[in-house]
Amino acid sequence: MALFGPAVICSFLLAAAASASNILAQFPNTGINAVQIDSAGNIYAAGFQGTVGVSNTYDAFVSKLSPDGSQVLYTTTFAGSKSDIAVALAIDSTGAAYILGETQSPDFPVTAGALQTTLLAPNTQGFVAKVGPNGNVVYATFIGGSSDITPSAGGLLVDPAGDVFASGESTGGAFPTTAGVPLTDTDAGAYFLLKLDPTGSTLLASMRGMGGLIASDASGSVYIAGVQFSDPTMIPVTPGAYQSSYQLNSCSGDDQLAFPCLYQYVAKLDSNLSQIFYATYLTGSYGAFPSAISVDAEGDVWIAGTTNSPDYPVTGQFQPFYLASAPPGPQGFMGTVYPPPASGYITEVTPTGSALFYSTYFSGSVTDTITFAAVTTSGIYFAGQAGSPDLPGLEGVPLACMPESYATVITPDGLTLTATRSVPGNVLAYNPITNMFLSWTGTALVSSDPLAPQTPIACILDAADLLPVSSIAPGELLSIFGANFDNGTSAAGSAPFPPALGDVTVTLNGLSAPLLYVSPQQINLQAPFEIAGSQQAVLNLSTSQTNISDSRTLGVTASNPVAFLDTVTPRVSEDWFHCPLNGAVYGGGPLPLAYNSDGSQNTCLNPAAAGSVVRILLQGLGVTSPPQLTGLVNSNAYVSLNLPVTFNSGNSGSETGTIVDAVALSGAAAGVWAVDLTLPAADLGANPISLSVNSVPVRDGILTIWTH
């Protein structure tokens, strides 16, 4: 590890794209929840347009893009006066798009003759809409009667006749069910599965008590991968089912009020939803949650997802052992319930639901998930979040970059894995025409090749708070992580920090970046103050001996205040069980690298005296006056920060503390500032504080200072 002034840099998490990825389309002020590809390769995306985090600004939409993403063939919006969001998407053989979503708008644009034309739910109504190949609205209807609908817990399917199967969760009210269905659960909350005719005007079948992800086979049978919250008897397990029950455990909550895990089941029904051919649990004692379901030509059902169960059923192929071993989080005052750490899984169920052909864990030694999967004749393409640097197939992504999105492919027999690659954003689809994964980064739809070599840069992080950066401030200290940057040696620079260290050089917009530390897996640098005024910064990394080169494009912002965080002290050691009870209890969240007035580090076992001065370190403030100089260290002379610094303290966040001083930290790299503050004397124990510099909030949110 290397040092930036007084702070240890052991950075982790994700920054920019880290594999062979291409931006297909930019979507400003948009959230994308679902992506599909038609037989011609056209790309469909659905979600909402509006200001993220601002209620009543969301309008549901579906867009059709050309195969390379260069043309928007249409965008159809469903806009009411409140929030409208599309959460699932399906495409039929004609190129018509179907969306499932939720709305709070009484004036949501339903069509004449639709199944339900009046919003009846007290909070959130469900909706289903069909959009023709050219973007015209064929129909739009509310669903769910007077029951609140959460469609994100379910799925959407269109059969060859144009009938639509939709699923989700309904809560309260009167959910409409039809005669002849095998389940009509009357509990306050339950999953549902319904079938609409091709015009969206008739409810062909509707049942309550089962629901989730949906698939179908060539005969029209419908398959569900869902979860049960508690009672193992609520799902009608059929005779001869693979698993008829499970052990119930808690996965969240505390010693006073604990909540059960989510227990997965798989069911097969006829196309009319009138008969359950089989229903079986497929879970361990700490649950399992499906993220994908598929049915192959033989009628085998493939399920992929995430489990916290060390006893999830596996068959001995590929990875038969549970390896995840991440430590639990901090304990609250009443104790906090944590399940075992997460692992991905892939399971193949026989056509009768009575046995498993194949089932395997997929994880490394920390914690990992599977959030997407597509089963094809050429292999199983899947993706998720990696927390383990030893995730099967993953190379060149050190622990410092975790968690990281990944994508990979396993052979159809489930025995041989290709290389696992880090990818940007959240994978939402696999394109069988291009063999590329499609993911949403929050601003762009990106395609990634899972077979492309891993790029040298695995992640770029802010050096103070160990979080990923997509935009940087002039003078910000950064850490780049990857593999084989240098020829097996490590070197630390001294002020003025050099533009080359070992055989490594880094430039931003052609300006040499001062290098503070270089090792085979880590490069610490400072973004030149001279990038101020630019909209973006192109970072180029190169080595003269190992012939490595890579680049990333980052946005440039005038100011990005960041607190140096304590990344050494485990948060679990700061919980109520380990700390003396004296005032407010630690509620989790970031711990700053803070110092008491005697220079010792502020911790729960070494709190500051009430009303005394505590020092917090900041960086990323951009160009200040007097100006800081790139690559130098702060002198011993007193240099005051001529920008207003404010903070609120107290568990209510409403008490205003006192800023004593804000000065350039002597001996640290230019751009590192020391902020001295005092909390109100009445604040004792774990005190949450929030800071702003020149009205820009410190991006780390609520920080904790300990006092007694």
Query: Which residue, among 667, 677, 669, has the nearest Cα to 645 in the 3D structure?
Result: 677
For residue 515, give its domain range.
2-10+458-556
If pLDDT is split at 50, 70 and 90, which confidence band does 116 have?
A: very high
Paired strand residues for 260: 250
If pLDDT is split at 50, 70 and 90, which confidence band does 4 have?
A: very low
Question: Do 248 and 111 fall within a single domain?
Answer: no
Question: Do 373 and 483 fall within a single domain?
Answer: no
Query: Which residue, among 194, 671, 284, 232, has the nearest Cα to 478 in the 3D structure?
Result: 671
Region 222-251: mean pLDDT is 90
pLDDT recorded at residue 580: 67
* Residue 15 lies inside a defined structural domain of this protein: no
SS3 295: strand
* DSSP output for 158-198: E-TTS-EEEEEEEESS-----TT-S-B--SSEEEEEEEE-T
Burial class (CB in 10 A: 0-12, 13-18, 19+), 377: exposed
Q: Which of the pair, 172 or 327, is modelled with greater confidence?
A: 172
If pLDDT is split at 50, 70 and 90, which confidence band does 68 have?
A: very high
Q: Which of the pair, 226 or 330, is modelled with greater confidence?
A: 226
Query: Which residue, among 686, 681, 474, has the nearest Cα to 592 in the 3D structure?
Result: 686
Paired strand residues for 554: 537
pLDDT recorded at residue 577: 62
Whether 209 has a pLDDT exceeding 70, the answer reads yes
Whether 14 has a pLDDT exceeding 60, the answer reads no
Q: How many domains does the chain have?
A: 4
* Residue 428 lies inside a defined structural domain of this protein: no
How far is the C-alpha of 56 from the C-alpha of 103, rounded, in Å?
Answer: 10
Region 27-45: mean pLDDT is 95
If pLDDT is split at 50, 70 and 90, which confidence band does 179 have?
A: very high
pLDDT recorded at residue 342: 98
Question: Do 695 and 650 fall within a single domain?
Answer: yes
Question: Do 444 and 324 fall within a single domain?
Answer: no
Region 555-560: mean pLDDT is 95
Question: Do 195 and 278 fall within a single domain?
Answer: no
8-state DSSP, 636: S
pLDDT above 70: percentage of residues in the chain: 94
Q: Which of the pair, 286 or 13, is modelled with greater confidence?
A: 286
SS3 385: strand
Question: Do 69 and 114 fall within a single domain?
Answer: yes
pLDDT digits (tens, 9 = 90+) for 433-442: 999 999 999 8
Question: Do 260 and 189 fall within a single domain?
Answer: no
How far is the C-alpha of 402 from the C-alpha of 405, rounded, in Å?
Answer: 9
Region 656-680: mean pLDDT is 91
Query: Considering the chain, what is the average pLDDT of its residues?
Result: 91
Q: Which of the pair, 574 or 281, is modelled with greater confidence?
A: 281
Region 80-92: mean pLDDT is 97
Question: Do 240 and 360 fall within a single domain?
Answer: yes
Compute the CA torsion angle 458, 462, 463, 466 (nearest 10 deg). -80
* Residue 429 lies inside a defined structural domain of this protein: no
Q: What is the pTM of this model?
A: 0.87
8-state DSSP, 68: T
CATH of the domain at 483: 2.60.40
Query: Which residue, among 153, 147, 59, 62, has the nearest Cα to 108 in the 3D structure?
Result: 59
pLDDT recorded at residue 258: 86
Question: Do 486 and 372 fall within a single domain?
Answer: no
How far is the C-alpha of 690 from the C-alpha of 698, rounded, in Å?
Answer: 7
pLDDT recorded at residue 7: 28
* Residue 565 lies inside a defined structural domain of this protein: yes
CB 20, CB 436: distance < 8 Å: no
Question: Do 150 and 290 fall within a single domain?
Answer: no
Whether 131 has a pLDDT exceeding 50, the answer reads yes
Strand 549-556, strand 471-472: pairing = parallel
Contacts of 425 (CB under 8 A, 6+ apart): 405, 439, 440, 441, 442, 444, 446
Whether 372 has a pLDDT exceeding 60, the answer reads yes
Question: Do 138 and 185 fall within a single domain?
Answer: yes
* Residue 430 lies inside a defined structural domain of this protein: no
How far is the C-alpha of 83 from the C-alpha of 52, rounded, in Å?
Answer: 11
Burial class (CB in 10 A: 0-12, 13-18, 19+), 199: middle
pLDDT digits (tens, 9 = 90+) for 470-504: 899 999 999 999 887 876 678 898 889 999 998 89
Region 197-208: mean pLDDT is 98
Question: Do 642 and 495 fall within a single domain?
Answer: no
Residue written as tokens 């920054």? 15
